[in-house]
A and B are shown apart, each in its own frame.
Chain A
Amino acid sequence: MINSLAMEWQKLRPLHKTARTVLLAIALAITVSALVSLAMASNGPHMSLVDRRAFDSVATSLQGVNAAVLAIAAFGVLCVTGEYATGMIKVTFLAQPSRLRVLAAKLTTHAAIAAVAAAGACLAAFAVGQALLATAGLSVGWDNARLPTALGGGVVYLMLICIWGVALGATLRSSSSAIIWLASLLVVAPVVVQILPRHLVEVVGRWLPSQIGQQAIASHPSAHSFSAWSGLAVLGAYVGLTLLAGAWRMTHTDP
């Protein structure tokens, strides 16, 4: 297993397209957090006292997490599908014949990188967002009681999305179809669900990965959503099932 990890780590050493997607994810997270915080800050003077009390400062400055999901998902997808596209996967299996070890090594290295990148992105986004929110007196400090949970939730959410990318890549073996699936689930599905009648939105909405992500960084649980950690457990179940499918395909069909 150590050899497989060394192999996957060595593949990531040169800064390739895949590694660039991580930097893109971090940049997106910080930029979108800054934009959302800026918008809220400019809105600050018009907010009522009730609004201010209900305002979720932590979640607002972490909104960039939602913008980073697709890039983080693509990072996971490409580490598998890129190898199928170039035929490199055959060389990988020549060097490490155990398919499951290859998959496990890819998951470990990419989840670890996603976690580090997500932690960096969340901290930076929070710092930038809070600085902007402070101009309207809407900031909370680094000692905010909700902050560790929200940061942890954001990091775990992005890490799970990255693992989902690897799993879907192993299942579908094609960059385009895996990314289209993830984009549909993460971006299109929430829009489509909004068209449904209100009572259905409340029932269906909580199962959406995007809503789970939103709750992971939120300070106040919403009435029609899972709590942060049960939501992440649901997402973990999606990821686990996809992973089983990916592992089955990798071990049962030829490269």
Chain B
Amino acid sequence: MIEVRGLTKCYGDRTVVDDLSFRVEPGAVTGFLGPNGSGKTTTARMILGLTDPDTGVAMVGSRRYRELAHPLREIGALIDPGGVNPGRTAIEHLRWLAAANRLSRRRGAEVLGLVGLDAVAGRKVGGFSLGMRQRLGIAAALIGDPPTLVFDEPINGLDPEGIRWIRGFMQDLAAEGRTVFVSSHLMSEMALTATELIVIGQGRLIAAESVAAFTERAESSVRVRSPQLDVLAAALAEQGASLWRDGDVLEVVGVSIEHVGEVALRLGVLLYELSPQRASLEEAFMRLTADVCDHVAGQAA
């Protein structure tokens, strides 16, 4: 279990993570979603004790990372496909990790088997492809058989076969009852892998809900085309709808299509089009994160 409370981190006058709070529960793959530069990696680093938060705490189980006596037995992390001395062999890399947390020497070979690298255990990491390095990073994360796993952008640089493998692998880990926390900037990927979502934008929490709930939210948009959009937009905004306007087209989220029709009739607004939109998850994600970026206010006004 991972719990983050009021996490805030500034670099200079830039707030990278802004009062972030969420919980990641065991037994599910939880996607950690946000555009590039939204603070995902900084959050992951704070959970892992690599960066100190300005305020707030990140807990692994019931402790902060730095208080863990044998951290690799509590939480495994893939943060950087590098992080390995290229002159060392795969098994040598895992041996020093095992020694660091008093794990059995055999663990190295075991986890290499789990990720399908047993055949190259004795090869130098310098000659590994990016996909093989990712697998080695995952082996390293698993070395202490931890109940919690953090993967930062694990599919970066993987081929389609590797992506499919890692998807299934993460789901299997969650099915064993582990907490699996995966960051990504690709909504489509998370829709396939995760069942829970934590969405951030500009370091702030946008959504923490199941993928199903998020999808539902995404599908309830209404497209309106009208020569009198200003009047209609103002009325809908008053009722708390979120609006995106592009020329004479208005996208409405948060009110039903019937309601938009009723409002238009009451105001006597001529409509050329009133249609339900099944936005993709990707679009929903873009909208939600764009919302935070304050692009909307200017367009809808």
Contact = CB atoms under 8 A, between A and B. Distances in A.
A97 interface: yes
Contacts of B79: 90, 94
Given A97-B68, A98-B66, A7 B49 contact: no
A96 B68 CA distance: 9
B208 interface: no
A152 interface: no
B48 interface: yes
Interface of B: 45, 48-52, 65-66, 68, 70-72, 77, 79-80, 82-89, 92, 95-102, 140
B284 to A, nearest CB: 33
A6 interface: yes
Contact of B100 (A3, A83, A87, A88): A3
A6 B99 contact: yes
Nearest to A11: B96
Given A16-B85, A90-B80, 5 more contacts: A6-B100, A10-B98, A14-B92, A87-B80, A254-B51
16 contacts: A4-B100, A6-B100, A6-B102, A7-B100, A10-B96, A10-B99, A13-B92, A13-B96, A14-B92, A86-B85, A86-B86, A94-B72, A95-B101, A96-B71, A96-B100, A254-B52
B71 A95 contact: yes
Interface string A160-192: 000000000000000000000000000000000
A93 interface: yes
A255 interface: yes
A97 B71 contact: yes
Nearest to B95: A10
A82 interface: yes
A255 B70 CA distance: 20
Contacts of B140: 91
A101 B101 CA distance: 13
A16 B77 CA distance: 26
B79 to A, nearest CB: 6
B70 to A, nearest CB: 8
A3 B66 contact: no
Nearest to A92: B100
Interface of A: 3-4, 6-7, 9-11, 13-14, 16-17, 82-83, 86-88, 90-98, 254-255
A90 B85 contact: no
A248 to B, nearest CB: 14
A88 B83 contact: yes
Contact of A87 (B83, B95, B97, B98): B83
Given A3-B102, A98-B66, A86 B96 contact: no
B101 A3 contact: yes
Closest 6 CB pairs of A and B: A7-B100, A95-B100, A10-B96, A10-B99, A87-B82, A6-B99
A94 B48 contact: yes
Nearest to B96: A10
Contacts of A83: 85
A97 B82 CA distance: 19
Contacts of A94: 48-50, 71-72, 77, 79
B99 A91 contact: no
A96 B65 CA distance: 10
Contacts of B71: 94-97
Max chain A CB contacts within 10 Å: which of B50, B80, B96, B97? B96
A91 B50 contact: no
A97 B65 CA distance: 7
B97 A91 contact: yes
A143 to B, nearest CB: 44
A93 B49 contact: yes
A16 B89 CA distance: 11
Contacts of A96: 71, 100
Contacts of B85: 16, 82-83, 86, 88
A240 B202 CA distance: 43
Contacts of A17: 87
A95 B68 CA distance: 10
A1 to B, nearest CB: 12
B132 to A, nearest CB: 16
A90 B87 contact: no
Nearest to B48: A94
Given A9-B99, A94-B77, A254 B88 contact: no
A97 B157 CA distance: 28
Contacts of B99: 3, 6-7, 9-10
A191 B86 CA distance: 38
Residue with the greatest number of chain B CB neighbours at <10 A, chosen from A86, A87, A91 = A91
